Amino acid sequence: MDILSIYRGLTLPMKNITGENAFRQMNKANDWEKQTGRPVIHTEIGQIEKPIPRVLLEGIIKSLNNEQTGYVVSPGIPSLRQAVADYVQSKTRAPITLDRVIITPGAKPGLTTAIVALTKKGDGVACPVPGYSIYSDMADFFGNRLYPLYLNPANHFRIDPDDFRKIAPRVKLLFLNSPHNPTGSVASWSEIQEIAKIAQRNGVFVVSDESYSEIMLTDKPARSIYEVEGLRGQTIYLGSSSKTLGFSGGRIGWCIAPDPSTAEKLTTFLGNIYSCCPEFNQAGVAAALQSLAESGEAKQWLDELKLHLKKCLKILLSGLTPIETIKCHEPEGAFYLWVDISRTGMSCKQFTDKLLEQQWLSVLRGTSFGPTGEGYIRICFGGLTLEEAEIIPDRIRDFVTS
């Protein structure tokens, strides 16, 4: 038996994992760029390209100058855990003690850990579809039964609490994501309260993925299910510096467990995988979250970012809306444009592949977010310049009319 077949045998269960298509598409676009020697406009990966807040950078440099480059405690350095507790408390009015806060490399590990800690094989897990694919990918991998909550364009891609009510008795865990990737939809306060009531009545744990909670494109603040006092004992709150502070490469996120003993379980599992997050990045994020809470430079950075995102969105919408064969869903939050391309007659894969090859524009195909994403593409405007936002509709118009 050769090494490869042993390896294949060992990794057989991994065959079901599909992973995040955005990274594959980014790779493909980079290859195309190298192969053709012409720059691609990247809108596939969900990130901000703006330089990180100064306070964050200075916090990292200070920590590195102090040679803070060794292992640290698994749940995270106390100053960051306290900064996260204060920050989330100020947003949600939930009292949070430091022993419930765990620092993770981005929000992503918290998703899987919640499944491991709160469910057993065969338990029902409800996920929004379309939605961030890692929820269903990992729940499926761990042998859970998936209950899709289909998001309807007629309901602006928000979860309909009645749909959740129907499946709740069979569900152990619900993934909630508002503002939502990929549609930018934002749950209303009454929908959140209704979902919370149903979860409470049926003993459903809620993982509230609040990665985009700071990125609102309207004047309304995003409301959180963590504001519902009676549900906090069965909620895991997830946040991240990736979108909040544009620090996606720094890999610092946070997970707030319902109680200290669950936090300990989560920490043990996570510690077995990566031991701890880099101290210097944690120190930088601690300084930035404090600055955000005190309306300092990080808050100004975020305000400037949102202003820029709103301008990009306006340019994109005014250029794309007149194109007859496509239809944009206007987002309320996050930095994604969810575009219906079904009338072009192309599958989303054909559309995405050809658009890259013919127009040097990299978008993400809708099926990256589940089967009902067929007929859609996602455009991330988080990393665009205003000039790029102007060019994108021209390229798409040329493409669909050629």
Ligand X SMILES: Cc1ncc(COP(=O)(O)O)c(C=O)c1O
Which residues here bind ligand X, judged by CB under 6 A? 46, 106-108, 132, 177, 181, 209, 211, 240, 242, 248, 253
Compute the least distance from the CB of residue 237 to ligand X, in Å.
Answer: 12
Compute the least distance from the CB of residue 397 to ligand X, in Å.
Answer: 28
> Cα(177)–Cα(213) distance, rounded to whole angstroms?
9
Q: CB neighbours (10 Å) of residue 150?
A: 16
Residue nearer to ligand X on the CB measure, 74 or 177: 177
Closest-CB residue for ligand X?
106
Residue nearer to ligand X on the CB measure, 132 or 237: 132
Compute the least distance from the CB of residue 377 to ligand X, in Å.
Answer: 16
Compute the least distance from the CB of residue 295 to ligand X, in Å.
Answer: 24
Of the chain, the end-to-end C-alpha distance in Å amounts to 52
Compute the least distance from the CB of residue 8 to ligand X, in Å.
Answer: 29
Q: CB neighbours (10 Å) of residue 221?
A: 12
The answer to whether the beta carbons of residues 385 and 308 sit under 8 Å apart is no
How far CA 269 is from CA of 98, 125, 276, 277, in Å, comes to: 19, 20, 11, 14
Q: Look at the block and give the residue holding tokens 């592949």.
A: 353
Residue nearer to ligand X on the CB measure, 285 or 312: 285
Q: Which two tokens mark 215?
A: 């990125």
Residue nearer to ligand X on the CB measure, 28 or 165: 28
Can you say how many angstroms the Cα of residue 51 is from the centroid of all Cα atoms in its chain? 20
SS3 of 156-214: CCCCCHHHHHHHHHHCCEEEEECCCCCCCCCCCHHHHHHHHHHHHHHCCEEEEECCCCC
Residue nearer to ligand X on the CB measure, 107 or 127: 107
> Cα(98)–Cα(80) distance, rounded to whole angstroms?
9
Residue nearer to ligand X on the CB measure, 257 or 346: 257
Compute the least distance from the CB of residue 114 to ligand X, in Å.
Answer: 12
Those residues with Cβ within 8 angstroms of residue 115's Cβ, 6 or more apart along the chain or in another chain: 125, 138, 139, 142, 144, 173
Residue nearer to ligand X on the CB measure, 289 or 323: 289
Sign of the four-CA dihedral 73, 76, 79, 81: negative
> Cα(361)–Cα(25) distance, rounded to whole angstroms?
11
Compute the least distance from the CB of residue 139 to ligand X, in Å.
Answer: 14
Which residues make beta-bridge pairs with 175?
207
Compute the least distance from the CB of residue 132 to ligand X, in Å.
Answer: 4
Residue nearer to ligand X on the CB measure, 74 or 359: 74
Cis peptide before 148 (omega within 30 of 0): no
